[in-house]
């Protein structure tokens, strides 16, 4: 969506103003107001929604798949399919491929982001999901592990309770839906600032985005996102960093990182990813 060649995009279809890529920090409300899940449902077409659920991050994909299935069914989706991909060959399943071709929304659940990446990366199904999301044809949401995979660089795991350092975070490759992001989730809830800082020090050409639980960074076709939900979205922008010792630091040495720009955003706030600035405060 955001790094897409606009020449490719424009002849195909105008960017929809309703579809979105929704990056959810995990533990979104599934019982009461369901603000984030309702927003996904509406952005996927509401009563006309045809929703694919990808539960592959989880080691209990049937359980978690059916939980989201029931939620979207109760909301009134027209069609729901759980793409229970448990091995890479399932990523070529023709029934699921054709569902993805016609769907209006895709929801990736939580679990383990490495598992999700290993099962889905470069499969025909995931390639179509990515392409259609980037073209603005569908609404794609990912929560927790499903959020972590959104960037080209992915946080696979890490720790807390230490000074920022190289060994505090394990970096690997993500699905590259919005390539310029390094996403962290359950963010302030699990005290992940030091690990996100460590990740950003390793990739100063990217943008760190830490998303709290029951909170969503909702990216729209215009390259901006707005914050929805109960917590904050923390943006760590290394665009103006003047110095880091990352390249020379030992694996547990503390990291220097000078001149970061940091924003703490809450419900309603908007951020422009291309200009790297706040569009407007929420209220």
Of these residues, 28, 56, 69, 144, which one is catalytic? 144
Residue with Cβ nearer a second copy (63 or 240): 240
Q: Which of residues 124-163 bind a second copy (CB under 8 A)?
A: 160-163
Among candidate residues 206, 212, 227, 225, the one with its CA nearest the CA of residue 277? 225
182 is an interface residue for a second copy by CB under 8 A:
no
29 is an interface residue for a second copy by CB under 8 A:
no
Phi-psi region of 5 (alpha: psi -120 to 50; beta: other; left: phi over 0): beta
Residue with Cβ nearer a second copy (78 or 261): 261
DSSP string, 72-110: HHHHT-SEEEE----SGGGGG-HHHHHHHHH-SEEEE--
220 is a catalytic site residue: no
- Give the nearest distance from C-beta 224 to a second copy in angstroms: 14
Residue with Cβ nearer a second copy (47 or 281): 281
Alpha-carbon distance values, 133 to 55, 157, 170, 266 (Å): 18, 26, 27, 25
* Residues touching a second copy, count (CB under 8 A): 43
Give CA angle at 77 (72, 83), nearest 5°.
Answer: 65
Query: Would you please indicate which residues are annotated as catalytic (active-site) residues?
Result: 144, 162, 186
The site for a second copy (CB under 8 A) is made up of: 160-164, 188-191, 193-194, 197, 201, 212, 215, 230-232, 236, 242-243, 245, 248, 253-267, 269, 278, 281-283
């Amino acid at each position: 969506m955001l790094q897409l060649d606009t020449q490719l995009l424009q002849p195909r279809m105008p960017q929809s103003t309703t579809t979105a890529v929704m990056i959810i920090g995990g533990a979104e409300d599934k019982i009461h107001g369901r603000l984030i899940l309702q927003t996904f449902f509406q952005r996927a077409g509401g009563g006309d929604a045809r929703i694919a659920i990808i539960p592959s991050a989880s080691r209990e994909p049937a359980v978690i798949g059916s939980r989201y299935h029931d939620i979207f069914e109760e909301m009134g989706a027209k069609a729901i399919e759980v793409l229970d991909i448990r091995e890479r060959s399932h990523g070529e399943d023709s029934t699921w491929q054709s569902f993805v071709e016609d769907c209006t929304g895709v929801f990736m659940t939580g679990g383990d982001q490495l598992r999700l990446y290993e099962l889905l990366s470069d499969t025909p199904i995931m390639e179509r999901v990515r392409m259609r999301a980037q073209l603005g044809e569908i609404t794609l949401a990912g929560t927790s592990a499903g959020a972590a995979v959104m960037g080209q660089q992915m946080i696979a795991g890490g720790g807390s309770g230490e000074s920022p350092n190289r060994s505090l975070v394990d970096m690997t490759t993500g699905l590259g839906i919005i390539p310029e992001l390094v996403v962290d989730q359950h963010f302030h809830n699990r005290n992940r600032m030091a690990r996100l800082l460590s990740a950003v020090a390793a990739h100063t050409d990217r943008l760190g985005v830490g998303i709290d639980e029951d909170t969503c960074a909702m990216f729209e076709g215009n390259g901006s996102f707005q914050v929805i939900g109960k917590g904050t979205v923390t943006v760590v922008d290394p665009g103006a960093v003047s110095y880091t010792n990352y390249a020379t630091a030992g694996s547990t040495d503390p990291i220097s990182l000078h001149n970061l720009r940091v924003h703490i955003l809450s419900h309603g706030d908007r951020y422009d990813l291309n200009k790297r600035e706040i569009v407007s405060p929420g209220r």
